[in-house]
Amino acid sequence: MNPNPRPRPFHQVDVFAGLAYRGNPLAVVLDAQGLDAATMQHFANWTNLSETTFLLPPRDPRADYRVRIFTGSEEFPFAGHPTLGSAHTWLESGGVPKSDGCVVQECAAGLVRIKRDGGRLAFAAPPLTRSGPVEESVRRQLAAALRVAPGDIVDACWLVNGPERIGVLLESAGQVLALEPDHAAMGDLKIGVIGPHAPGAGADFEVRTFLPGDAMAEDPVTGSFNAGAAQWLMGTGRAPEQYVASQGTVLGRAGRIHVSAEGGDIWVGGESTTCIQGTVLL
């Protein structure tokens, strides 16, 4: 822990929802200079949120700021809702991008571009570092963990762009919403599940993501999984080049993820709202 704590600007923001307290909360420490990884991890565990971010001066001259992203138990090289929430907080706190119309975030996964999309921010999905079908033994474990018949799984694919996550496609949004997973059977698997809504439902897909062993067993809204799922589903012709996914429904949230393919990039966006402002002693 830092032996000489001092007050640091701190925000808590809600990401991927137009109304406060209906999305995925994120803790943001705006000035993390001098903090070591152990202190960051301890504080992230204390916040009891899915992720906490720490903003630092960039090392890459092309970047506007650098971010470190922690769950309650580990550091992620990249994650989606922390990217949008950190960019929202940096801009709201007076940050001025070096280039017009685009914020460049530096993280352990590299540089991530974030653009304004009307009243939303959207990040360019980073490349997958692991993809492809899962092994048959993993597919059987997925079925057991989700408590579905193996035949109910339309497809399953590695979708790694930071978290080691597997994507599971079911036939319908109704099946996704009805899941009552066996978290013990998941072992160390991090699973994202997606299924299409019927036309006219207000969203095109329903998403749920499960994080066994973490502070939150189910993540309210997950940008990194939605980014990987978009690359997978668009690449296999299962999703159009523009769609909206809903997530967090069973948790009483109203997450909305806006996805579009433009100019060779897949952009993943949503609204962010600041809920808490103040200082934290670190």
Closest Cα to residue 96, out of 127, 55, 129, 65? 65
Q: Say how far apart CA 80 and CA 225 lie, in whole Å.
A: 8
Is the Cα dihedral 76, 82, 87, 93 positive or negative?
negative
Place of tokens 């809702």: 81
Q: Are 244 and 204 in contact (CB under 8 A)?
A: yes
Q: Say how far apart CA 232 and CA 239 lie, in whole Å.
A: 9
Asked about 74 being catalytic, the answer comes back as no
Q: Say how far apart CA 194 and CA 179 lie, in whole Å.
A: 11
CA 178, 47, 20, 6: dihedral to nearest 10 degrees?
-170
Per-residue HEC secondary structure of 110-158 comes to EEEEEEEECCEEEEECCCCCECCECCHHHHHHHHHHHCCCHHHEEEEEE
Q: Say how far apart CA 266 and CA 264 lie, in whole Å.
A: 7
Q: Which two tokens stand for residue 243?
A: 């769609």
How far apart, in Å, are the Cα atoms of 229 and each of 46, 75, 250, 267? 30, 22, 20, 12
Q: Exactly one of 51, 106, 218, 271 is catalytic; which is it? A: 51
Q: Say how far apart CA 64 and CA 111 lie, in whole Å.
A: 10
Q: Active-site residues: which are they? A: 51
